[in-house]
Amino acid sequence: MTISEHLPALVVVLPLMAAPACVMLRHPFAAWLVASGTSWLCLLMSALLLRQVADHGAFSYQLGNWAAPWGIEYRIDMASAFILVIVSAIAAVVSLYARASVAHEIEQSRQYLFHALFVVCLSGLLGIAITGDAFNLFVFLEISSLSTYAMVALGRDRRALTAAMRYLVLGTVGATFYVIGVGLAYMMTGTLNMADLAARLPAVIHTSTAQAGLAFLVIGIGLKMAAFPLHFWLPDAYAHAPSAASAFLAGTATKVAVYAFLRMVVGVFGATGILAVAAMADMLMVVAVLGMVVGSAVAIWQTDIRRALAYSSVAQIGYVLLGISLLTEAGLAAGIVHLFNHAVMKSALFLALGSVFLRLGSVRIADLAGIGRRMPLSMAAFLVAGLSMIGVPLTVGFVSKWYLVEAILHKGLWPVAVLVLLSSLLAVVYVWRVVEVMWFAKPSALALTAVEAPLSMLVPTWMLAGAAVWFGVDATGTMAVARAAAAVLMTGVGQ
């Protein structure tokens, strides 16, 4: 066996092994080197896996050579490979940024811990994406969550601790709900393998046990992905975590939870037809639209820009869920492509803000007056990513909006389409409010002290901002992958 055959295992195991290495090295720079190197290796492996899927179709990896459905199966298809690439790409870029940012925000003696937690979290997120086993997914979910709680707690001021605590309580409740849901499904089917579950569930879906299982799954994953109204942990966590952690989590954590939702709820339970029968899809749509509108509206009123962006994330998850709730391939593709698009632009925004925090020690909107003149390159990246949030053409935000509206119109849901566009106008308000202060206000006394961010932070920020334009100008590639991924997930639903 060559090493390439073990890529599916390696992509998860490598970051997991890198964590103890970071802890043993203890030296901040050495730990960062390991973490960053690992992230880039993971990106390489994920890209190879995506290519393999694109060339030869989906394939399985039997962990420890135990055949599915008894052993744990890693299943790599278009959907999981796409998520792998998204997560590892964001991780790789953020890891570059993390060195300078972490060195500034976290005391010297704890910096190696951040890097260790970072790779553990990466390992968990990649594991969720790649596994084909419902219980294994729970384990990875908790690996990523536990490391996330700790990462958030490394934030600068003491509110990070309470934010982490709140996140821990709600996150654990969510994960436990998920386990209950899986347990109930297991009770009825005797299997934990997702493909196997999807095959066996239709026969038992009429039982209240299976239906209760679905309900627990939806709530559990809903908590993890901060779907409205289960989002209360998110704004605090993103606002108080270290900048690099905010950027990483904003781009990956909720996305991967959405992927778990896609796999378990649409992929596994979708085959039973219950989503349409039990008005699940309709409920999901209502929740999605509410999240989209309320999230954006609340974002407008925040004085801390990171909180505004966090609420905007709640709204963006609403867009994705809306796409899913259409239960069509086009809707699903729109949702999936938005996972990627939103990850890129939101992480870029958080990275740009992290640079501001590095120089100003604040991200309150009043302190940012005129910062555009002092840090033109960082703030230009913020502007680009912000325009993408609004959905200006030639940015990824526009691509998402276009396909979401198209999918909605195909179903003839006019009012929903109008709501989507209206809520994107709310994004104009909360983005432009910041842009106006940054670029068109007289510099505040604090802003006058600032200078441009160091290159090690500028380059990653622009990598993502550049990607937000690149994939907005030519969306053929991302859309092709998203459509293929949607097709995989829809096979069960069979529209």
Q: Which of 162/495 has CB closer to another protein? A: 162
Q: Which of 40, 135, 232, 470 binds another protein (CB under 8 A)?
A: 135
Pick the stretch among 281-289, 308-316, 462-470, 474-482 that binds another protein (CB under 8 A). 474-482
Find out whether 170 and 148 touch, Cβ atoms under 8 Å: no
Q: Which of 121/479 has CB closer to another protein? A: 479
Asked whether position 365 contacts another protein by CB under 8 A, the answer is no
How far apart are CB 383 and another protein at their closest, in Å?
10
Q: Which of 158, 207, 282, 366 binds another protein (CB under 8 A)?
A: 158
End-to-end CA distance of the chain: 40
Interface pattern 69-88 for another protein (x via CB under 8 A): --------------------
Q: Which of 24, 54, 169, 448 binds another protein (CB under 8 A)?
A: 169
Asked whether position 23 contacts another protein by CB under 8 A, the answer is no
Asked whether position 387 contacts another protein by CB under 8 A, the answer is yes
Q: Which of 37, 52, 60, 142 binds another protein (CB under 8 A)?
A: 142
Find out whether 87 and 129 touch, Cβ atoms under 8 Å: yes
Site for another protein in 175-204 (CB under 8 A): 175-176, 179-180, 183, 186-187, 192
Tell me which residue has tokens 């084909």: 132
Pick the stretch among 254-262, 338-346, 415-423, 462-470 that binds another protein (CB under 8 A). 415-423
Q: Is 279 left (phi over 0), alpha (psi -120 to 50) or beta?
A: left
Q: Which of 146/465 has CB closer to another protein? A: 146
Burial of 208 (0-12, 13-18, 19+ CB in 10 A): exposed
Q: Which of 83/387 has CB closer to another protein? A: 387
CA distances from 178 to 254, 410, 451 (A): 15, 33, 47
Asked whether position 394 contacts another protein by CB under 8 A, the answer is yes
Find out whether 221 and 261 touch, Cβ atoms under 8 Å: yes
How far apart are CB 44 and another protein at their closest, in Å?
27
Q: Where are the alpha helices (DSSP H) in 57-110?
A: 78-105
Residues 407 and 388: their CA atoms lie apart, in Å, by 20
Residues 454 and 462: their CA atoms lie apart, in Å, by 12
Find out whether 453 and 371 touch, Cβ atoms under 8 Å: no
Signed CA dihedral, 160, 165, 168, 173: sign only: negative
Tokens of 75: 């299943």
Strand partners of residue 74: 61, 131
Q: Which of 44, 421, 459, 487 binds another protein (CB under 8 A)?
A: 421
Q: Which of 432, 448, 449, 455 binds another protein (CB under 8 A)?
A: 432
Query: What is residue 70's three-state secondary structure?
Result: coil
Q: Which of 63, 98, 146, 467 binds another protein (CB under 8 A)?
A: 146
- DSSP letters spanning 16-58: HHHHHHHHHH--HHHHHHHHHHHHHHHHHHHHHHHHHHHHH--
Q: Which of 424, 453, 462, 465 binds another protein (CB under 8 A)?
A: 424
Binding site for another protein (CB under 8 A): 135, 138-139, 142, 146, 149-150, 153, 157-159, 161-162, 164-165, 168-169, 172-173, 175-176, 179-180, 183, 186-187, 192, 304, 387, 390-394, 399, 401-403, 405-406, 409-410, 417-418, 421-422, 424-425, 428, 432, 436, 440, 473-476, 479-480
